[in-house]
Amino acid sequence: MTSPDRPGAPTASDRTDVLAAGSEVGDWVVTRLIGSGGWSTVYAARPADAAAGSSGPAEVALKVMPTAGLAPRQARRIMESARREVDLGSRVGHPRLIGLRESFVLTAPDRPALDGAIVLVMERAVGSLRELIDAGVPEADRGPLIAGICEGLAHLHGSGWVHADLKPENVLLGEDRSVKLSDFGLATELTGTHGYVPPMGTLDYLPPERWRAPLGELGVRVRPSADIWALGIVIHEVFSAGGSPFSGATPVARGAAVQEYAQGRAPLRMDHTVPPFWRALAADCLAPNHAARAPHTAESLLARIAAHQDATGAGTGAGSGRRRGRARTAVLATALCGVAAAALCSDAARGGSSGPPVRVGAPAGTVRVFNAERSCRERADRAAGCSLGLAVDPLRAYTADNVVPTRVWHDDVLAADCELPDGQPIIDEEARWSTRWFRVRLPAGSAPPTAWLPAVRTKDRPALPRCPRPTAAR
């Protein structure tokens, strides 16, 4: 567990700004919750005048980004993220990019947590590539889907922008299987050959140079080749049922494998299920450094895919809308059924996407420890390697010198007497973020008698009083 690149981002379960169905937000009426994460909550909505029987536009997605109660730096980060999305959405329209209809600031004096929230009104989609990968991508759809991603990236890069957070969650799908790239909160406009982004992103999709990139006054330098690297990972996932070409039980471990490969100490090992053409394409995308990756632009990759499709007689695009048989269409519809994935942001949590079924929570006033590493959850013994540390001080970096001697394991139940909502921001192995901490009591005779458990280490959210803020200096 390490401190996140995104200071201050709470987890979805910490949110208090959920809007009920029927709530009016500007000219829209919320129909249901789609998903939520550290920075935003996404809702499906219909036009307010549709209730009167008028023929308004189709249902949209509302991305609500609250700013109330945040520290100035946190609020600035959210506003900057929203500005990027609005800027790109208003200037770089394309059928392969999710459409932005409007943006406004919400006035809700009766809901302090929502008052002043930034709202982005976005085009709806019926699913995301992540859900489709989890369900199983039909073989005939794989090539056209990758082609659609390349189309979106080619336009984005040609317009002078880098996405900077390409991943299956941010590839949305229309009813006709058309691809639409989404979540431009980290997108950056190039200044010459580089753009600059905050030191954040999804670990499994960062190119080798991002793991070592220095943080300057403007942020971390990024180039279009970073998106190409992420595309290589996505190609491998699409053809290997979600598998990564880099081994490791956690994103950090897989990042170490990326570094071994980039430094020439390990070969690139791809799953045998990836066909030869796509294996070669992914390998070019995953060239170990920018110089080797730069010739493989989204446009050139798209041309190679088109030539391959022409030679093999495969479909020519992700948005052609062609039907290839009722049975396969039914497979796709089933995979996307009930998935209201529209403009889901990089920080959105995918409920139920990993791990075993959620257990019944611990009794009131207690928290049950949760270990994000599946291998540790499946062990019956209390192996030292699967133990978790509790912090001495929730305001200090969560490192070895800030951990009490008493260790805990998955499924341990700890008495909790209060919570601190704005402690040291933490990210776990599954990239869940939170600044929330619980003060827990340790067994009799422990020294110290209490310690702090980060909220990402439990699925329980008991109603507890707020802890007095500890003194950071020790």
**DSSP assignments along 300-349, one per residue:** HHHHHHHHHHHHHT----TT------HHHHHHHHHHHTT---SS--TTB-
- CB crowding 40-50: b at 16 or more within 10 Å, else e: bbbbbbbbeeb
Q: How far apart are CA 111 and CA 379, in angstroms?
A: 45
The reply to whether 63 sits in an annotated binding site is yes
Q: How far apart are CA 229 and CA 252, in angstroms?
A: 17
End-to-end CA distance of the chain: 22
Using the Cα atoms of residue 158, residue 163, residue 164 and residue 167 in order, give the sign of their dihedral. negative
127-128 and 118-123 strand pairing: unpaired
- Point out which residues pair with 45 in neighbouring strands: 30, 60
Nearby residues of 337 by Cβ (< 8 Å), 6 or more positions away = none
Q: How far apart are CA 457 and CA 274, in angstroms?
A: 35
Q: How far apart are CA 197 and CA 220, in angstroms?
A: 5
Q: How far apart are CA 86 and CA 89, in angstroms?
A: 5
Token pair for residue 445?
């005779």
454 phi and psi angles, rounded to 5 deg? -70, 145
Q: How many CB atoms lie within 10 A of CB 176?
A: 12
- CB crowding 417-444: b at 16 or more within 10 Å, else e: eebbebbbbbbbbbbbbbbbbbbbebee
| Residue from 98, 100, 82, 80 nearest 90 by CA | 100
| Residue from 239, 241, 257 nearest 249 by CA | 257
Residues belonging to the binding site are 63
**What residues are designated binding site for ATP?**
63
